[in-house]
């Protein structure tokens, strides 16, 4: 959802162009519109047989999802941008990527382009960590508020379940108390935006390639991380296999379909392939830094970010239960009592 592209060798990239404010602003507005549409659809504000005009009229009602999600993404990107400016590393303004109907969130996030490799390990750590940490400053209050204004209800016969991380499970317990068996929180649009922020942060903290987590791990460990990053990348296939077995066994016993089992398991296979393409395009190894060690405080930040990744990681990001194609009214979502 977010990657910082940097060249492997100084001088191997063209000069960074002057900011094209119209392009950056246009992509931001297009992404905002796409997330508004996603929020309207999630909140079931668009009737199933709605005309084009009715759909357009309903789009602004998706603001409870779009506004907090765009705030999370924007603060995340600005964290990277301002950290780059502080360290005098050339970086573009964020390019937001609208993806209506292609992404469940209406966007594939954003990309910041840095034409030169980051030479100092302290700068690499600061730039890599600034985005996730800044985004969480917004995402955590959003998800807590969203949960507090959502409702707990018995699960329907067919439903879709959002991914559960250690942090998200703890947040549900703190905000909502013990949830009875057979019930769960029906996320309203604001809670869904906060959950999306947590999920996107976890993806970015994967210690692979030129994702934020890859920058952080390389800054902490150095060139040795190139080998370990390959193992971390391969481990995603293990998570895919774990989910496949988890859903195939009940499917073969009549508790679902084979296509549903694969659909519930396929995310990490898809992400493995995306990261393989990204690593091949930008280089299998992380661009090297100059000699030098991180300060004790920065090492603490790096380890803290890796702990955050463990707390935010969702083994099964999204799964359908019951019939293979649940009706819209059966999706585990609700507008709750959000104002």
Q: How far lies 244's CA from each of 237, 263, 318, in Å?
A: 10, 9, 13
- pTM assigned to the model: 0.89
* Whether the Cβ atoms of residue 235 and residue 206 lie closer than 8 Å to each other: no
At 214 the pLDDT is 94
At 258 the pLDDT is 83
Domain ranges of the chain: 2-9+17-330
Host H or E run for residue 138: helix 121-148
134-158 pLDDT, tens digit per residue, is 999 999 999 999 999 999 999 998 8
| DSSP count for the chain of H helices, then E strands | 11, 7
At 19 the pLDDT is 79
Alpha helix positions (H), 149-290: 166-176, 189-204, 212-221, 225-252, 258-265, 267-282
* Whether the Cβ atoms of residue 66 and residue 39 lie closer than 8 Å to each other: yes
Q: Which two tokens stand for residue 192?
A: 């869904």
The SS3 assignment for 156 reads coil
214-267 pLDDT, tens digit per residue, is 999 999 999 889 889 999 999 999 999 999 999 988 777 766 678 888 999 999
Q: Single out the residue of 250, 239, 145, 246 nearest to residue 190, CA to CA.
A: 145
At 1 the pLDDT is 57
At 46 the pLDDT is 87
Pairing of strands 95-98, 2-6: unpaired
Ranges of the chain with pLDDT below 50: 7-14, 324-331, 336-339
The SS3 assignment for 185 reads strand
At 235 the pLDDT is 96
At 16 the pLDDT is 55
At 310 the pLDDT is 97
């Amino acid at each position: 959802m977010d990657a910082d592209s940097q060249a492997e060798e100084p001088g191997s990239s063209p000069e960074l162009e002057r900011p094209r404010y119209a392009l950056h602003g246009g992509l931001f507005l297009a992404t905002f519109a796409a997330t508004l549409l996603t929020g309207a659809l999630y909140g079931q504000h668009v009737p199933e047989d709605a005309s084009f005009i009715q759909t357009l009229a309903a789009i602004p009602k998706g603001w409870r999802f779009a506004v907090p999600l765009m705030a999370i993404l924007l603060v995340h990107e600005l964290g990277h941008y301002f950290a780059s400016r502080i360290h005098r590393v050339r970086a573009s303004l964020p390019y937001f990527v609208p993806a209506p109907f292609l992404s469940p969130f209406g966007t594939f996030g954003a990309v910041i382009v840095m034409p030169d490799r980051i030479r100092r390990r302290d700068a690499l750590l600061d730039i890599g960590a600034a985005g996730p940490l800044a985004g969480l400053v917004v995402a955590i209050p959003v998800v807590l508020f969203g949960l507090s204004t959502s409702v707990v209800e018995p699960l329907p016969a067919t439903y879709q379940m959002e991914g559960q991380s250690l942090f998200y499970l703890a947040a549900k317990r703190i905000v909502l108390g013990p949830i009875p068996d057979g019930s769960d929180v029906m996320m309203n649009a604001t809670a869904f935006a906060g959950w999306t922020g947590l999920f996107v942060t976890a993806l970015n903290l994967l210690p692979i390639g030129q994702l934020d987590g890859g920058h952080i791990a390389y800054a902490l460990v150095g060139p040795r991380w190139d080998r370990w990053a390959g193992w971390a990348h391969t481990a995603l296939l293990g998570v895919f296999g774990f989910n496949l077995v988890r859903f195939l066994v009940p499917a073969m016993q009549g508790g679902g379909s084979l296509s549903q089992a694969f659909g519930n398991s396929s995310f990490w296979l898809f992400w493995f392939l995306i990261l393989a393409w990204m690593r091949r395009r930008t280089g299998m190894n992380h661009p090297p830094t100059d000699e030098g060690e991180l300060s004790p405080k920065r090492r603490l930040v790096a380890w803290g970010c890796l702990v955050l990744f463990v707390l935010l990681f969702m083994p099964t990001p999204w799964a359908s239960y019951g019939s293979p194609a649940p009706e819209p009214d059966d999706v585990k979502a609700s507008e709750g009592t959000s104002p």
